[in-house]
Amino acid sequence: MSQENPIISVSGLSKRFGDVYAVNDINFTVGAGSITGLLGTNGAGKTTTIAMLLGLIIPTSGKVEIFKFDMLKTRHAALARMNFSSPYIDLPQRLTVAQNLTVYAKLYGLSNIPDRLAQLARELQLSDFIDRPYRTLSSGQKTRAMLAKSLLNEPELLLLDEPTASLDPDTADWIRQYLANYQRRTNATILLASHNMPEVERLCDQVLMLRDGKIITRGTPAELIKAHGGETLEEVFLAVVRQNQNGSAARRLI
């Protein structure tokens, strides 16, 4: 699926750790204002891909361009316009939510920090725990605090690693709704890695499925369901990832 105005452009991207390719020669683009889902089993290469997009991991080969900036050479030009959230990387535990957000607001160069924090506290319902240390929060509260951190700079590009992992259905649904609204309101581009198929089906315009570091199929959720049979994206996912590595049924929809 090519995009006329890509915010993310990835070509020939690989990452090798020792003898193992975590990501192996992947190519994709993500268009402005779209939501793209990155699906795959554990160890498929989703987090490594996101980390390379962020410049946290240097690729073994290939190229990542975000907002047309080469992330290997000029990533700082892009980083101010993007943000990231992952349940697997905590914020400093002993700082309160407000302190964490203040620190990150300064790192992103925000000028009117109290107003921005008040706005995010209102939108993400942080007020009850904004002055509590991060370590004392529940999973749902931590996710909302982390989301607030990732929205501080009103990012044009938001990278989310499993945004609703380990949340109860109600909180997870609330987060999904918030993300969808945020995207509509700001026309932001979102790339999210997820294991939650209904979530991806509901939110995403485009889906990339990874296995063993390779993109094995891609398309809109409807295209994938149509192409691979089944009734839900989950059935497609299970069928695709269980195929033999050398199987030919994994199709690529362009």
Partner 1 sequence: MKKNHLRRFEFSVGRVYGLVLRYWYLLKGSVPRLLELAYWPSIQLILWGFISQFFLSQSSALAGAAGVLISAVLLWDILFRCQLGFSISFLEELWSRNLGHLFVTPLRAHEFIAALMTISLIRVFIGVGPAILIAIPLYHFSIFDLGLPLIAFFVNLMMFGWAIGLLVTALLLRVGVGAESIAWAMIFLIAPVSAIYYPVAILPDWLRAVAWALPPAHIFEGMRSVLINGTFDVNFWLNAFGLNIFYLTISSAAFLYNFHSARRDGKLLQIGE
- Rule CB under 8 A: is residue 252 a binding residue for partner 1? no
With contacts defined by CB under 8 A, name the span among 80-88, 182-190, 211-219, 224-232 that binds partner 1: 80-88
Decide whether 159 or 207 has the Cβ nearer to partner 1: 159
CA–CA gap between residue 38 and residue 191 (Å, rounded)? 7
Instruction: Kindly tell me which residue out of 86, 141, 196, 206 binds partner 1, with binding defined by CB under 8 A.
Output: 86
Instruction: Kindly tell me which residue out of 32, 57, 118, 165 binds partner 1, with binding defined by CB under 8 A.
Output: 57
The answer to whether the CB of 44 falls within 8 A of the CB of 210 is yes
Binding to partner 1 (CB under 8 A): which residues in 129-188? Answer: 149
Report the phi/psi class of residue 65: left, alpha or beta, with left for phi > 0 and alpha for psi in -120 to 50: beta
- Rule CB under 8 A: is residue 77 a binding residue for partner 1? yes
- Rule CB under 8 A: is residue 17 a binding residue for partner 1? yes
Place of tokens 């997870």: 172
Q: How far is the CB of 230 from partner 1 (least distance, A)?
A: 34
CA–CA gap between residue 175 and residue 144 (Å, rounded)? 8
Q: φ and ψ at 59, to 5 degrees?
A: -65, 155
Q: How far is the CB of 43 from partner 1 (least distance, A)?
A: 13
| Total of residues contacting partner 1 (CB under 8 A) | 39
With contacts defined by CB under 8 A, name the span among 4-12, 54-62, 166-174, 203-211 that binds partner 1: 54-62
- Type of residue numbered 86: S
- Rule CB under 8 A: is residue 249 a binding residue for partner 1? no
Cα–Cα distances in angstroms (integers) from residue 247 to residues 46, 214, 220, 233, in the given order: 21, 14, 22, 20
Q: How far is the CB of 42 from partner 1 (least distance, A)?
A: 15
Count Cβ atoms within 10 A of the Cβ of residue 167 and give its class: 0-12 exposed, 13-18 middle, 19 or more buried: buried
With contacts defined by CB under 8 A, name the span among 4-12, 105-113, 173-181, 188-196 that binds partner 1: 105-113
- Rule CB under 8 A: is residue 84 a binding residue for partner 1? yes
Cα–Cα distances in angstroms (integers) from residue 89 to residues 20, 92, 163, in the given order: 24, 10, 12
- Rule CB under 8 A: is residue 51 a binding residue for partner 1? yes
CA–CA gap between residue 213 and residue 38 (Å, rounded)? 12
Binding to partner 1 (CB under 8 A): which residues in 185-244? Answer: none
Question: How does DSSP classify residue 243?
Answer: S
The footprint of partner 1 (CB under 8 A) covers 15, 17, 47-48, 51, 54-58, 69, 73-74, 76-77, 79-80, 82-84, 86, 89-96, 99, 102-109, 149
